[in-house]
Each structure stands twice: as C-alpha cells, then as structure tokens.
Structure 1
C-alpha cells in the first residue's frame, strides 16, 4: 500500500512538472506573437460570453508574467494540453494546446487550430481567440471556408459578429469560377464581396484569362469584378502555327462580367486602351472583350496595326477564331469612316502607302493570319502603286460604290470595283509633284503600343 502511495505521488509530481514546462513554453509563444496581455477595457459582465473547456488531456493553473512593462504585468491563466476543445454558445475552438487568460479573457491556441461557427470554419497553426468579441486572429497556413469561398493566407483575422475576414500575406481566394491572389484582402460574407489590395491577380481557368492590377473588388455571388491601378489583362493562346501567342490588354480600369445571368460574358475595358497580340497592336479610348464569341470591340478613335497595315474607323471589331483548339485572327470589321493603309513592300523610299477608304470595311485573313482580302462598302476609294517586277510604274486612284481588294504578301494583287467606277492612272515621273494620298490619310505608327 505504501508503495502505491509513493507511485501516485511520483506521477502527480511528473504531471505537475510537465504542466509547468508547457505553461512556460506557451507563455514564451505568447510573447513571440507580440500581443501584450493587458486586460481589455472594462466590459459589461452581462455581455461576457461563457466559455467552457469541454475536453483536454491535461489541465493546469498558472500565471503569465509580462516583464517588458513596469511594474511587470501578471495574469492568472489556465493551460490545456492535448485534444483541446473550448465551446461557447455559437463557436467551437479546437487545438493541440491552449492558454486561457482569466482576466483579459482571450485564449492562446497552438497547433491544428480549428474554430467553427455555423457554416464557417477557420483553421491555422497558432493565434488567439477572443470570445467576447467573437474574433479569431491566426497565423501560419490560415484558411477560411464557407459555402461560398475558400480563403487562405499566412495571417488572418475573422470578425464573426460582422461576418468579415481580413487576410494578409500570400492571400488566395477561390470561388466557383475564379482564383484571386493578392497581398491583402477583406472579405464581407454578407455581401459576398471582397476588397483586394496589392499585386492583385484574378484568374479564370474556363477562358484562360487573367487580370492583374493594384486594386480590385470581387463579387463572387455575381461573378463580377472590377480592377484598377494599372490593370493588365493577359490571355495565352496557341496559334494556328502551333506557337504560343499572348493577348495583352492595358487600360485604366477593367470590369469583368461572367455571371450566368449575363447573356454576353465580357470584360469592359475603360480609358486609354492598348492591345498587343503577336503582330497585332491596337489602341482606343474604350473596348469590350466578348469571351464566348472571341470579339474585341474598339471604340473611341480606334486604330489597329497589323504587320505593315494600319486600320482606322469610328469603331473596329477584331474577330478571333478557334480552329483545331488554336486561335487566329479571322476578320476585322471597320464601321464608319473606314480606312486601310498598307506600307508598300517594294518601295525603298518608305513614302508610298497603298490606301483604301469607304463607309464600312471587312478585312479577311487566311489560315496563317495574313491579310487575304478587303471588302469596302459605299463610297469606296483606292490608291495603289503599280510595278513591273520590282520596277515602279506609277499609281492608280479609283473610286466606286464598293470594291474588293485581294492581297498577296502584303501587296495588292487584284481589285474588283462595283458600280459607278472611275479611275485615273499617274505615271511614275509625276508622282513627286502631286499628293495622291486619299482624304483623311494619316500614318500613325508612332502611336503604336510597344509593351
């Protein structure tokens, strides 16, 4: 019997030593989080939340001492080790180890932290839970999941009463269609809205479009986002030649509409639009990129450059066609005041430009994205330069109700006019004395976006 008592005393001493060692280590962790354990402002005791320690392998009392202040701050604590579960009316807090501060009423949690309330689950490695405010502050591998999104970062704070999450450092948000990456993010659960700041990237796997910028707001229930602060849209495609081609669009603001209620999923691009895709470059005041039918609509003094050609009009639509899972430019539609200028490939002086104008125009490209033909409708005018081999033979200026021009290697091969055709031929020796350029001609290559 005496031996049994000695054994019990020995086990009790061992458990006490273990509890004290754990308490000392956990108090050091509390200091490492740089959270001073000062008591919070006085709270109406009737509003304090009752917290129950439902489960733990070991429980011990102790004291936390903050010697960084004078006089040192002391607070009674209760430590719990192993398979810990705290519960209050609406929230369950689970972790490997915990320290409950009895005066300031916060709970320090470490290891496999899980804080669950209703449909919201927050996980992480370590942090604090403030039951009276229903606030969770976690760090390292922090994640929040609910019925709408999955949110992760290295640091996260969740205000359960406000249904608001503030996450920072390597933030990732995922919903049904998008992945959002950023430096920091505030998620408002009630509105299903996120305010996103710093190195923002919004990725959509369905259409392979990514948009990046400095600031964004994302409404996941509506599948709508807007991006500001130097936004850039990028879409990587395979070309008909099997190479990788990247569509890049820059502007001052972009609005992405992808909801099922939107009849035309699209990205609305606003102010100072600049576009590059392989040999194609464009600029305009505003644009719309229609995602399903692959159309880029430019308006507000639009201008498009392609290889040695320049296209202008009141509005321009670039049609991209998918063929064998590869994309190429199929047609360009120019509406009102259409003008096509092509640099003459045989002219060594650099001063000769083939020109076509009319009310409306359609440019058709072949399977290798070379200009195949141009069809002009109403008030058609053309200027092209003739050659005998490589020897210049003057110029031809013609007009008609409409015309079709066929190209080969960026040079005019054949012209077919329709209705009320008029034309005049100018010999080469007279070209230097007369300005043959069509009305409205401008070669604006200096405005071409290079980025």
Structure 2
C-alpha cells in the first residue's frame, strides 16, 4: 500500500509533463516549417529521367517562394529542397521593387541565393546593373560580379571588372578598371564607392576625373556627380591647359568655381609664367581670383632668371587687359632676383607688362646700389633697358669703401638698367650728389654738388660722369678735411642688413611696418 501510493504520486506529474509536450508539438512543428517552392503555372511537368528527385517544368513557368516570383521558359525543381534551375527569359521579382533578368538562374531558396548568367540585368527602382554573371544574396540584397559589369542610373554610368551592389545601403562598390561618365564628367580609378541616392563618388587609390573645364587627380576623396563639388586628398591636383593647382587637400566646386587648397599649395600659370605657393589658398576659377596666405610666395620665371617674392598675403586677379594678370602683395614684402632685391610694405605686379609698383618705404638693391623713395616702379623691357622710376624723396646710395658712400638725392628719378647693372640715372628736382673723387683708382676727396636736374652715368657700380642740367653749386673736399656730417646727405639711411641675399632669405622676418597699399595703388 505504501509502495502503491508512492508510485501514484510519481506517475501523475510524468503524465502531465508528457501531455504538455504533446500539446506543444504542433507549435514547434509550425515554427520550424519552411515555406516550400510553389509552382503557380507551367505548360507541362515532366519527371526528369537523368536527374534524381528532379522534375522539369516547361512553357510559361511561374514559380513562387516566399516573396520571390520567378518567370521563365523552363525550370528544374528538386524534391526535398527549395532549389530551382531556371532557363530562358528568366525574370525574378522580389518585393515589387527589385527585378532580376537573365538567360539562366540557379536559385537556392534555402540559402536565399541566386546566380544569374548571360545578359544579366538587375533593376532596383531607377538603377540598372548589367553584367554577364551575377551572384545575388537575396537575404541581404547584395549583388556582386567579377567578370565586368555596369551600373546605370538617370545621370551616371559606371563600369568595372569587379563590383558589389549593396541595395539596402544604396552603395555600389567598384574595383579594378573602373570607368565612369555622364555628360558632365569622366572618371578613371581602381577603387570607388558610388552612393546611388546622393550620386556622390568616393574613391581610394589613383583616380582621375575630367570635367568640361579641368582634370582632377587624387588618391583619396569624393566627387559629387551632380554639382561638380569635390574634396581631394592624397596628392591632389587640379589642372587644365593653362594652370596647375597642387596641395595636400583641395576642395573644389565646379558649379560656382570656388576652390580651397591647404598644405604646401602650388598654383602655376603657364601662360604668364608665374607660380604662387603657400599653405592656404582660396580661389575662384570663374573670376580667376586667388588669395594666398601662410608662407605665401610668388615666383615669376623665364629662360634666364626668376623673381622670388614673399608677403603675408598674395592676391592674383585678371587685369582689364586681356591675357594679363595682376599680383598684389600685402604686408612685409621681400623679394629676390639675381640682379635686383627689395623690400616694401606692399606691391603690385602686372604680369604682361612686367611692371612692378612698390609702396610704403620701398628699398631696392642692385649690385652696389641701394635705391629708396616713397614709391618705386620697375619696368622690364624686352628690347630696351629696364627702367626704375622713383617718386618723392628719392635716394641712391653705393658703398665705395668702408664708411664711404656715394649718394644721390632728389625729388623724382628715372634709372636705366642694362644687363642687370644700373647704367644711368636722371634726377628731376632738388638734385644733390655726394661722391668720392678718384685719381688712378685712389680716392682723393669728396665732391658735393646741388642742381635741380642732374644726369649721372655709372661704370662698374661707381659714378662715372655727372651732367648738371642747371648751374650747380658745390665743392671738392680732401679726405682729411671731411667731418662726419660732410660724409652724408640728409635722410641718409643705409639698410644693407635688410637686403635679401637668396630666394630662401625672403622669409626672414622684416622690421615692423604699417601695412597698407595706397589709394593710388588700388586705382
């Protein structure tokens, strides 16, 4: 009796547990059940004698599996699996928006995978992918090929040897022999990603983009195929037949012409033979305006010599004269050329006329001479002597020996330079001269003379002949009779320590000056 009661207590829970399992079995069975391939339509169904567990469907076949509809001329289905091999005018429709066309498709519903072969087209809204063989992951909506393919939308066409199309992310990834084009641009690369929604191309590796105005090159960055905007990194360049722009990064907008370049920037103008360098450049290709800051340098080159100029800020712009550019340099200008060097606060350079205007305490050095005035102009002529025009408080100094300086002073002066040497000077107004007289190359005294207009000729850097246009006043004093005041004209200022001695020396910090281009210069 004791044993029977014991067994009864144990048996009841077991029966309840088993009954519970039996009741739950239909739910487990329903959860694990997979939807099978359904044959919605076929003209004929034939058991295949050559392939085990296979049946062949013929004529206007329609097959459904989950959200996939398949249309084809003929197909094989396989007992115990959700595989379908479809042939002839195959069309797969998934989720109403995606359509896959091919001559042959191997479909595996258990893996949600299809391989399409021959005349393949994958349509996703307004995007079409063309290729010969496409593997399509239907669960993740990814199509990929490695035998050349092409994606076309309303604007762009992109081709490559290898590609992946991520439909959910709206990204197409092209590698190996990538070519893209529209009516606005062409692109050559080996690795790009294309956002089919924004129509922006992202690239890695050497990439060349050509639009109607320029060629763009970079090894990293992006390009907007609609607006022409670009952010170029890794060895970027923008160039055309007349100009080249290089930097560490270039941001470019073809639509409005704006561009920004940063880091070791080089902007070269082939027609005007000029180069602008700096670490920060803003420019507009439509207006041809450019502003350069941070280590800004301007270079004007020719077959024989080059001018190197530095300022805090450089601006280049077109002049009213066709084919001519203007370069404006602001604040702390220093420049070097083998035959002439100079400093000033601000400067304007007209490229076609080879005219340079210097403002605010300009000083020039040519061979032995130091030239200064309130404003100076330099003009280079092809078949005539170069000119130096000096306006107001003009002063020329040349050191002949230690502490001995030839000096010319006047209101305005015009100097002529031949083969890089000052040949002669004409003084107009308030002319004064102070120079050391020589006999057999020995200094014997000092001549001092005044005349409103003076013409002076130089030889080997020294005053050789002086012609006074009006009766001069003056005297010759022996060296032993000279006082310290006798040795200098008023406003004498020898500034040799400021002279740039090389193209690298133009970056030496000058003395502080008040920066400003005069109103006359702006006109």
Q: TM-score, normalised by structure 2?
A: 0.70
2:352 equivalent in structure 1? 292
Residue 381 of structure 2 corresponds to residue 321 of structure 1: yes
Tell me how far apart the structure 1 counterparts of residues 192 and 485 of structure 2 sit (CA, whole Å). Answer: 81
Which of the residues 312, 321, 328 maps onto 1:268?
328
Bigger drift between 350-359 and 224-233 goes to: 224-233
The alpha-carbon deviation at position 300 of structure 1 amounts to 1.0
2:116 equivalent in structure 1? none
Any idea what SS the aligned residue of 2:492 has? coil
Residue 194 of structure 2 corresponds to residue 129 of structure 1: yes
Tell me how far apart the structure 2 counterparts of residues 298 and 417 of structure 1 sit (CA, whole Å). Answer: 29
The alpha-carbon deviation at position 289 of structure 1 amounts to 1.3
Which of the residues 170, 173, 180 maps onto 2:235?
170
Change (3 A) 1:288 1:437: same
Residue-by-residue CA offset, 1:293-333 (whole Å, 9 max, x unaligned):
1122111110001111100001111222335xxxx972211
Q: Are the equivalent residues in 2 in contact too, given 1:255–1:269 (CA < 8 A)?
A: yes
Q: Are the equivalent residues in 1 in contact too, given 2:340–2:420 (CA < 8 A)?
A: no
1:68 equivalent in structure 2? none
Residue pairs, 1:82-231, within 5 angstroms: 82-231=147-296
Any idea what SS the aligned residue of 1:292 has? coil
2:459 equivalent in structure 1? 408
The alpha-carbon deviation at position 146 of structure 1 amounts to 1.4
Tell me how far apart the structure 1 counterparts of residues 479 and 492 of structure 2 sit (CA, whole Å). Answer: 21
Residue pairs, 1:26-37, within 5 angstroms: none
The alpha-carbon deviation at position 154 of structure 1 amounts to 0.8
Q: Any unmatched runs of 5+ in structure 1?
A: 17-22, 24-47, 64-73, 240-244
1:382 equivalent in structure 2? 433
The alpha-carbon deviation at position 169 of structure 1 amounts to 0.8
Bigger drift between 428-437 and 394-403 goes to: 428-437
1:52 equivalent in structure 2? 128
**How large is the Cα RMSD of the aligned pairs?**
2.8
Change (3 A) 1:4 1:114: farther
Change (3 A) 1:375 1:96: same
Larger gyration radius, structure 1 or structure 2: 2
Change (3 A) 1:329 1:220: farther
Tell me how far apart the structure 2 counterparts of residues 434 and 235 of structure 1 sit (CA, whole Å). Answer: 42
Change (3 A) 1:336 1:232: same
Q: Are the equivalent residues in 1 in contact too, given 2:339–2:420 (CA < 8 A)?
A: no
Any idea what SS the aligned residue of 1:238 has? coil
Q: TM-score, normalised by structure 1?
A: 0.80
Query: Number of aligned pairs?
Result: 391
Q: Are the equivalent residues in 1 in contact too, given 2:369–2:397 (CA < 8 A)?
A: yes
Tell me how far apart the structure 2 counterparts of residues 110 and 401 of structure 1 sit (CA, whole Å). Answer: 79
2:136 equivalent in structure 1? 61
Any idea what SS the aligned residue of 1:435 has? helix
Residue pairs, 1:426-437, within 5 angstroms: 426-432=477-483, 434-437=485-488
The alpha-carbon deviation at position 416 of structure 1 amounts to 0.7
Residue-by-residue CA offset, 1:332-391 (whole Å, 9 max, x unaligned):
1111111011111xx3xx11101111110111122x222211110011001111122133
Q: Are the equivalent residues in 2 in contact too, given 1:224–1:259 (CA < 8 A)?
A: no
Change (3 A) 1:3 1:408: farther
The alpha-carbon deviation at position 211 of structure 1 amounts to 1.2
Q: Are the equivalent residues in 2 in contact too, given 1:222–1:259 (CA < 8 A)?
A: no
2:472 equivalent in structure 1? 421
Tell me how far apart the structure 1 counterparts of residues 303 and 215 of structure 2 sit (CA, whole Å). Answer: 31
2:448 equivalent in structure 1? 397
2:362 equivalent in structure 1? 302
Q: Are the equivalent residues in 1 in contact too, given 2:243–2:267 (CA < 8 A)?
A: yes
Tell me how far apart the structure 2 counterparts of residues 238 and 329 of structure 1 sit (CA, whole Å). Answer: 18
2:388 equivalent in structure 1? 332
Tell me how far apart the structure 1 counterparts of residues 385 and 310 of structure 2 sit (CA, whole Å). Answer: 19
Bigger drift between 388-397 and 262-271 goes to: 262-271
Tell me how far apart the structure 2 counterparts of residues 363 and 103 of structure 1 sit (CA, whole Å). Answer: 75
The alpha-carbon deviation at position 429 of structure 1 amounts to 1.7
The alpha-carbon deviation at position 193 of structure 1 amounts to 1.7
Q: Any unmatched runs of 5+ in structure 2?
A: 1-47, 53-75, 77-84, 86-104, 107-112, 114-123, 506-523
Tell me how far apart the structure 2 counterparts of residues 97 and 357 of structure 1 sit (CA, whole Å). Answer: 77
Residue-by-residue CA offset, 1:183-204 (whole Å, 9 max, x unaligned):
1111112101211111110111
Any idea what SS the aligned residue of 1:271 has? strand
